[in-house]
Amino acid sequence: MLKIKTINDKQSWEKFLETQVQKTFLHSWNWGEFNQLMGNKVWRLGIDQNGTLAGSAQVIKIEAKRGTFLLCPHGPYLNWQNKNQINILIDYLKILAREEKCSFIRIAPFFERNETNRQFFKKYGFISSPIHTHAEYTWNLDLQPKEEELLKNMRKTTRYCIRKAEREEVKIIQSTNINNLQYFLKLQKETKLRHDFIPFSEEFLKNEFLAFMKDNQIVLF
């Protein structure tokens, strides 16, 4: 028997996420805490299958210029081969969206963007979004090899910049002190002037730091 239930226990939520092969902080308990600090409503939903947690969906209500909607960042996590799990969650989200007067539901599972996956989600009534919510292309670097190996596999210009920084005695400081955010904010402001982009607000970064620092899950370089 399948049913949707609210997860109020942080340990149960995080323990389930640990069993997932592909996962990011955007579905973590503390990302939900951060969103609540930002004034967003958050639901942590679990798919209960005969008393066992078989899936999870962290759902955030977003009120933006393009409309009010429900967002499930880098989720949901469930058995995508199990149509019953998919359907019961979608049906629940549709009811929740109507109750919250949302225009649409947006999910962003950790799937590769290709035609097979596009057709898969189309079967369930989803359409491709015209704009991404979070970064779609990121760089994962294995830090286990030795320094020489890492440098060798970098682009020539990247190696040059690192060597130049060493010669100029640039210091990299690691900190978990929220007061040091002022240095990052100053750099962000200068970079914004050069490259003309919309930066994260001071409130956003401070709340993100506050949400993750209590579990030692964030560090500033």
Which domains are delineated in the chain? Answer: 2-122 (3.40.630.30), 147-213 (no CATH)
What is the average pLDDT value for the chain, to the nearest integer?
Answer: 94
What is the separation, in whole angstroms, between the first and last Cα of the chain?
A: 48
Confidence of residue 82 (pLDDT cuts 50, 70, 90): very high
What does the pLDDT look like over 34-68, one tens digit per residue? 999 999 999 999 999 999 999 999 999 999 888 99
